[in-house]
């Protein structure tokens, strides 16, 4: 991969990179299409990274439809697929720690201890292999984008990061590789997440944050089959709970719907 891309770079290619866990859906494909506009060679990686899963069952259950994924990448004319094995990416007992500050223990970090250490570990390795000029990530993993931005800034990595909007089904459900695990009933109940986020965006008033948050928590908790992990209206840069002096607001939610853990968010103002 390094030799192949080095040759293209020497010929003046601008490398854009879309790292994924596979089980590609329209959200991933929209990142690839955006990447095609920003550079000349698009690399997509598919690697179900074990170090970012804190639950072995979740890792085992993660969908891996590689033949379908390859087909989808061909349909959108993605230039290069990087699909390494675990033993190519990691030596035994490899250690990694990056100081990602407060983001480590907030929201997803609190519910999935060690998750962002695993994400930064693998993204750092992938950046080192692909050496992209531009890397694209989805807004659905909003906190992940902040964590990776912090890594890029801490380690002075020569890559520009681009965040792309969430792709949604017609009824509002955020696209996710995990949606295939939702039963038809779960699928209906899951809509409470995007509906509540949407309502918050439209009714947002910085003087009313705690009331809006409490209402959202109550509505989601009352939905059958939905177990709320967190709902937060946060500062878009730090993810600390927002107050009326906050400049940029984002609302974020995580919940278990049936057996499937889903996340979603909405940027209230940029
Ligand atoms: O967002 C994802 O799909 C993964 O966390 C990533 C960035 C590919 C790292 O494994």
Probe ligand 1: pick from 119, 136, 139, 174, max atoms within 8 Å of CB? 119
Which alpha helices (DSSP H) does the chain contain, by range? 2-10, 26-38, 56-61, 66-75, 86-89, 108-111, 115-130, 142-154, 184-189, 191-203, 209-221
Segments in the chain below pLDDT 70 = 270
What confidence score (pLDDT) does residue 268 get? Answer: 97
The residue whose CA is least distant from atom 1 of ligand 1 is 20
Query: What domains appear along the chain, each with residue ranges and CATH number?
Result: 2-164 (3.40.50.620), 177-269 (3.30.1300.10)
What confidence score (pLDDT) does residue 143 get? Answer: 98
The residue whose CA is least distant from atom 5 of ligand 1 is 119
The alpha carbon of 98 and the centre of ligand 1 are apart by a number of angstroms equal to: 17
Q: Residue 94: exposed, middle, or buried by beta-carbon count in 10 A (0-12, 13-18, 19+)?
A: exposed
Q: Which atom of ligand 1 is nearest to the CA of 20?
A: 8
What confidence score (pLDDT) does residue 17 get? Answer: 99
The alpha carbon of 21 and the centre of ligand 1 are apart by a number of angstroms equal to: 6
Contacts from 111-116 at CB under 8 Å and sequence distance 24+?
111/229, 111/230, 111/254, 112/54, 113/54, 114/51, 114/54, 115/52, 115/53, 115/54, 116/52, 116/143, 116/144, 116/147
The alpha carbon of 17 and the centre of ligand 1 are apart by a number of angstroms equal to: 12
Catalytic residues: 28
Probe ligand 1: pick from 24, 122, 143, 148, max atoms within 8 Å of CB? 122
C-beta of residue 39 within 8 angstroms of C-beta of residue 74: no
What confidence score (pLDDT) does residue 270 get? Answer: 63
The tens digit of pLDDT for each residue in 195-217 reads 999 999 999 999 999 999 999 99
The tens digit of pLDDT for each residue in 26-80 reads 999 999 999 999 999 999 999 999 999 999 999 999 999 999 999 999 999 999 9
Question: pTM higher than 0.95, yes or no?
Answer: yes
What confidence score (pLDDT) does residue 185 get? Answer: 98
What confidence score (pLDDT) does residue 93 get? Answer: 87
The alpha carbon of 112 and the centre of ligand 1 are apart by a number of angstroms equal to: 14
Q: Which atom of ligand 1 is nearest to the CA of 48?
A: 10
The residue whose CA is least distant from atom 2 of ligand 1 is 20
The alpha carbon of 19 and the centre of ligand 1 are apart by a number of angstroms equal to: 6
Probe ligand 1: pick from 18, 20, 96, max atoms within 8 Å of CB? 20
């Amino acid at each position: 991969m390094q030799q192949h891309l080095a040759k293209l770079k020497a010929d003046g290619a601008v490398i854009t990179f879309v790292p994924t866990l596979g089980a590609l859906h329209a959200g991933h494909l929209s990142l690839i299409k955006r990447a095609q506009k920003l550079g000349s060679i698009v690399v997509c990686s598919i690697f179900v990274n074990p170090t970012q899963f804190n639950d072995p069952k979740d890792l085992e259950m993660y969908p891996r439809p590689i033949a379908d994924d390859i087909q989808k990448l061909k349909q959108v004319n993605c230039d290069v697929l990087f699909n390494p094995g675990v033993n190519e990416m990691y030596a035994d007992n490899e250690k990694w720690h990056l100081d990602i500050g407060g983001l480590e223990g907030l929201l997803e970090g609190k519910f999935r201890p060690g998750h962002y250490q695993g994400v930064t570990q693998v993204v750092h390795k992938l950046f080192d292999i692909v050496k992209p000029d531009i890397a694209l990530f989805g807004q659905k993993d909003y906190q992940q984008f902040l964590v990776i931005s912090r890594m890029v800034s801490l380690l002075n990595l020569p890559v520009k990061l681009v965040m792309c909007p969430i792709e949604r089904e017609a009824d509002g459900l955020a696209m996710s590789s995990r949606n295939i695990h939702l039963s038809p009933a779960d699928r209906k109940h899951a809509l409470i997440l995007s509906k509540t986020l949407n309502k918050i965006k439209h009714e947002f008033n910085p003087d009313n944050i705690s009331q809006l948050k409490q209402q959202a928590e109550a509505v989601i908790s009352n939905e059958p089959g939905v177990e709320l992990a967190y709902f937060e209206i946060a500062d878009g840069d730090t993810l600390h709970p927002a107050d009326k002096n906050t400049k940029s607001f984002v609302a974020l939610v995580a919940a278990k719907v049936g057996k499937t853990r889903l996340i979603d968010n909405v940027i209230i103002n940029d």
